[in-house]
Every structure is written in structure tokens, then in C-alpha cells.
Amino acid sequence: MKILKYILFLLLMAFVGSSLYLATLNGHYEVKRTRIIQVPIEVAFDAVNDYKTWEHWDPWNETDSTIVYTFPEKTIGFGATFTWKADSGNGNMENLASIPNEKIQDITHFEGKGVVNGTWQFKKVAEGVEITWKMNGELPFLARFMAAKMDPEIGQMLERGLELLDEYLQKEMKVFSVESVGLVDYGGGYYLYQTTSCRFDEVENKMNEIFANLDTFMKANHIESAGKPFNINHKWDDVMQTAMFSTCIPIKEKLITTDKTVMVGMMNPQRTFKTILRGNYNNSTEAWETAYKNLAVQGFVTKLTGEPFEVFVTNPKEVPNPAKWIKEIYIPIEE
């Protein structure tokens, strides 16, 4: 009996000693990792801000194949949520704050295991965007001794998550598609334009320069655009790698201008073969080749006196993600 009392006394002392030791420990932990990703800041923010993308780069999803995500109707921005179930445990996450291209705050509830606060910070840098992913929380009293291990254990998961996010964004930005719509009647109309000739590698810069000139002219003369900007291809020499084209902005009516640098043109209604490029405009060569190929396959003949043109439905300055750009290609055909 004395031995039993002695054992109980030792256990009690050990418990008291452990409790006193744990009381001296801080159960709070904070772990963060940073990575620079070479994408527009808007692209990175939009991906993190939409929970539906998380299953593609969440590091815990990579280590646990039993995770099953469930998404409600709202998955983007403040108030968005999602839940998951797995052999390792269930839980849910909620977006508590979302400041576009700056910061996202969320909270994760682990069923029966407490909560974790998350913070995402986005900073525009010369290389793209600097992303910092931070997690912090409070360990239960009896688990305080584990606080020192949180940084290396969670830290490697955050590092892997940022790496997977980088891979996901790079892949998504390269996605594009080409669709041949077929025969359409293009209405035509008046437009302002400037014409230039240059090498293929200068086309984009020349085009942007003209767009800037036309925009300045229209603002100075209070002229409103009547549609999306477009390019008319006059000559395209694959051998010499040179192009002659007009960069245009449609207007509502015919104008008389004394400015010799900005001209007014008129496109007559015409029958065309339409093709749509969805994705980065650097895939234009493939889009044009597909357009001409499908035109012939469907039995149409290119109009020899016609000049093909392309309409820029999406302005890259307004839509940073190249995967969401849209360009329409029109090739005049014989009646």
C-alpha cells in the first residue's frame, strides 16, 4: 500500500512539474514563407482569392490523396468558403478579408483540432509578384511543447504550396484555344487609323505606339470609340519577315480632320470567315494558320482583293491574365 501511495505521489509530482513547465512555454506560433513568382500581381491574387483553384496547388492535397473538396456557390472573395473530408480529418476554410492585389485573410477550422489563422500578402516587384503566406495560431496547453517544431514542419508545407502555386500559374497562363466560327457578315463602319511597316518582331511595339497616338487624338478632340480596336493586314511577307498594317479604332460617324497623321477610313460590309483566339496573343500565328486551314476545309475561298483583319476584344492592360485574352480574326471570302 505504501508503494502504491509512493507511486501516486511521484505521478502527481511529475504532473505538477510538467504543468509548471508547460505554463512557462508560449503556445503561440507564427510561420511564414515568401516567394517571388513571375506573373502579374492580379493573376496571383485572383488564383488565391478563388478557393476552387486550391485543389490544384494545395500542398496538403499533394500529401493526402483521400482529400475530397466541397465547394459552395460562393468561392471567391470575402465570405467565400469550402470544406474538405479526408482520412486524416475534416475541416473548412473561410475568407475573412480580401483587399484586391494586396491582402487576403482566412481562418481554417480543423474538426476537433482547433483553428489556424492564415494571411496572404501580395507585393508588386520588378520580377512579378512577391507573395508571403503566413499561418499562426495557439496550441492547446498540453501541446505547447510542440510550438518550437511548428516553423520547420509547417514552413516546408508553405514553401511547397508557393512552389505548386507558381507551377499552376505558369501553366494556366499558357492555356489557349482556337475556334473557327465560320461564315459571318461583318457590318463595317468608319474608323480612325495610322498605317506603318516594320519587321515581325516590331509589330507589337508599333501597334501599341499607334494605339497610344489614336487615343491621345481622340481625347483631345472629344471623339468616342464605337467598338473594339482592330488591325488591318495589308501585306504580310513571311520570307522577308516584314509586315504592313493599319491600326484602327472604330468611330460612330465620318469625320473631317486636318491632322495629317491620323486618317479616317471606311470599311464596307463584307462576308468573312471568323476565327476566335482565346489566350495569349503570342499564339496568333497558330490562330491564323488554323483560320486559313478551316476556311479551305469548309469550302470557302479567300477574296483576293480583300484584306484580313483582327479585332482585339480584350485589352491586355485591363486584363492582366493572358489566358483570358480574346482576339477575333476575320478573313474576307468570295461570295
Q: Write out the residue range of the structural domain in which residue 84 sits.
A: 25-173
Task: Clarify whether residues 193 and 162 are in a common domain.
Answer: no
The residue out of 148, 173, 198 marking a domain boundary is 173
Task: Clarify whether residues 204 and 280 are in a common domain.
Answer: yes
The model's confidence at residue 141, banded by pLDDT at 50, 70 and 90, is very low
What is the value of pTM for the model shown?
0.80
pLDDT score recorded for residue 3 = 56
pLDDT, one tens digit per residue, over 20-55 is 333 443 456 789 999 999 999 999 999 999 999 999
Question: In this structure, are residues 115 and 105 in contact, taking their beta carbons and an 8 Å threshold?
Answer: no
Measured between alpha carbons, how far is 132 from 129 in angstroms, rounded to an integer? 10
**In Å, how far are 75, 83, 111, 191, 244 from 67, measured between CA atoms?**
18, 10, 14, 55, 55
User: Which has the closest alpha carbon to 181: 298, 276, 272, 271?
Assistant: 276
pLDDT score recorded for residue 68 = 94
CATH number of domain containing 261: 3.20.80.10
Is pLDDT at 153 greater than 60 in this prediction?
Answer: yes
Is pLDDT at 238 greater than 60 in this prediction?
Answer: yes
Residue with the larger pLDDT of the pair 212 and 258: 212
pLDDT, one tens digit per residue, over 52-105 is 999 999 999 888 989 999 999 999 999 999 999 999 899 999 999 999 999 999
Task: Clarify whether residues 202 and 187 are in a common domain.
Answer: yes
Task: Clarify whether residues 215 and 313 are in a common domain.
Answer: yes
Report the number of distinct structural domains present in the chain.
Answer: 2
pLDDT score recorded for residue 256 = 82
